[in-house]
Chains A and B, each alone.
Chain A
Amino acid sequence: MSKPSSDIRFWLIIFVSIVSVGFISVRTQYNNLKVIINTNSEIESLKKSDLKSIILGEKPRWSNKSLIAIALLKTNTEIGKSIASDVAGMTSNQFNKHWLSVVFRGISMPPKFYPNGQGVRRFVAENSSSIGIVGKDFVIGNEVKVLMIIDD
């Protein structure tokens, strides 16, 4: 078996590098969560840190200045607990208290909390500048689209 030429090896390394970088940047979705957005939105991806800022009420507007409406699962559900821990880096209790404080300080309106994914999906489908998080296995249909979450 002959060895590949140096040119082939060079392009092979370049190809593997590009694929690896692409793989790393795309494969940062949360293990058991899916971030959904209204189908009319032009946004296709979001940085992880921006998603956290939105979920914590620190960033109330999209880049086009429209107000972001947030829909989440209740924090007493398993998916709701995952949203608090994986996205916000808090326990459910801390996440709820954080939002009580944010609302009290007049920083932002609170998210809508639903007991199941259907409620989140319906809210996102009906509100053009909204964002929602559901379980990874939840079937979203064609009323909303999945947002790609990438590392910073």
Chain B
Amino acid sequence: MRYWAIVGIVLCFFKGTISFGQETNWNGFTDINYVIQDSSSFFLGQYDNFINTQITDNISFLSEITFEIEHGDDLEVDIERVILRYQVDNYLNFSVGRHHTPVGLWNTYYHHGVVLQPTITRPQIFNFTGILPIHVLGFYLNGDFIGKKKLGYDLMIGNGGISNSIIGDDFKGKSVTMGAHFYPVNRMKLRLSCHFDKIQEGEDNDNGLALEDIKQHIYTASLDYEASKFRLLAELVALTNKSKSSGKGHTLGLYIYSGFTVGKITPYVRWDEISYDANDPFFTLEDLSGFLGGVRYEFSYNTNVKLEFHHKDFNSMRKTNLLMIQWGVGF
């Protein structure tokens, strides 16, 4: 971890001299937040270092390393993405490394550069500590913008389990992710994807504990309509955990985002819903219904301020409200 931190810092400071003739692009993203709930507080978001370099005409390299202050002021350095890609032609790419799992749309559009994200927070179903596999280390085959309908496809085979391990796993099987998308009409993108994995007995995280081997199947359906002033983004996720002795548990999650832009100002709303099965063999989570309303002001393409009000209802038993302000920047 320290090694990568040093590499990241060195690349940041010497970005102008690392290319030696090859094409290298360096970007960074960060954000500063203020939250009002029971008490109010400022906090720093992630500091994201993003490097994209064209090594040869066909081979490119991408790395994304984030610095984040965790509880207790501990600095955490994460290798979010490290990808080596061979691009055969316009419609065929082979990649290896740690990728954003091509499940749904949000997870491939937005991650750590929150200035690109339409809201301050991610939808509940795509939360970093949520129920979906956000990253996968493995082999990735994809293509995009094929034909007039701009067809795209993804196939990913990677390490399995909920740990998203970057130092390897001892699983017999690997996770498999597949997806396809196209534009049925101009500006409207439809996407279907699925992810098959196995949670091994004894694995656990904040969402649950596997008392035995569990087969996990995830299906997503997504719609993105983006006109010059209006945006509608909606995604539905159906997840099944299945074990031999405890049976099946079905989870259904969705979000709908909509925003309307007037000049530099975009008022927006988002509705989140997740419903868990009480008999799920892995998840031990409460149903969640959430609503947020906010407004985004764009100073320019690479910096904006968002103000959001969040309301969350956990299983109709516990309710929370909070107000967030975020200033995000990309450079």
Contacts and interface: CB of A to CB of B under 8 A. Distances in A.
Contact of B150 (A58, A94, A100, A101): A58
Contact of A93 (B27, B52, B298): B298
A96 interface: yes
Contact of B302 (A65, A67, A96): A96
B122 to A, nearest CB: 15
6 contacts: A58-B145, A65-B89, A93-B298, A97-B301, A104-B116, A106-B52
A110 B90 contact: no
Contacts, number: 64
Contact of A104 (B27, B88, B144): B27
Given A59-B90, A61-B90, A100 B301 contact: yes
Given A106-B52, A109-B52, A61 B89 contact: yes
B106 to A, nearest CB: 12
B23 interface: yes
Contacts of A103: 25, 27, 50, 52
Nearest to B100: A105
Contacts of B298: 93
B300 interface: yes
Interface in A51-68: 53, 58-61, 65-67
Nearest to B52: A103
Interface residues of B, number: 32
A100 B144 contact: no
A107 interface: yes
B25 A101 contact: no
Contact of A100 (B57, B62, B116): B116
A93 B303 CA distance: 11
The B interface, classified by DSSP as helix, strand, loop or mixed, is strand
A80 to B, nearest CB: 13
Contact of B90 (A60, A101, A105): A60
B301 to A, nearest CB: 4
Interface of A: 53, 58-61, 65-67, 90-91, 93-94, 96-97, 100-101, 103-107, 109-110
A106 B90 CA distance: 14
A107 B83 CA distance: 12
Given A58-B144, A97-B116, 16 more contacts: A58-B145, A58-B150, A61-B90, A93-B298, A96-B301, A97-B302, A100-B302, A100-B330, A101-B109, A101-B116, A103-B27, A103-B50, A104-B50, A104-B116, A106-B60, A109-B23
Contacts of B150: 58
Contacts of B54: 67, 109
Interface string B41-59: 0000000001010100110
Interface in B200-238: 228
Contacts of A104: 27, 50, 111, 113, 116
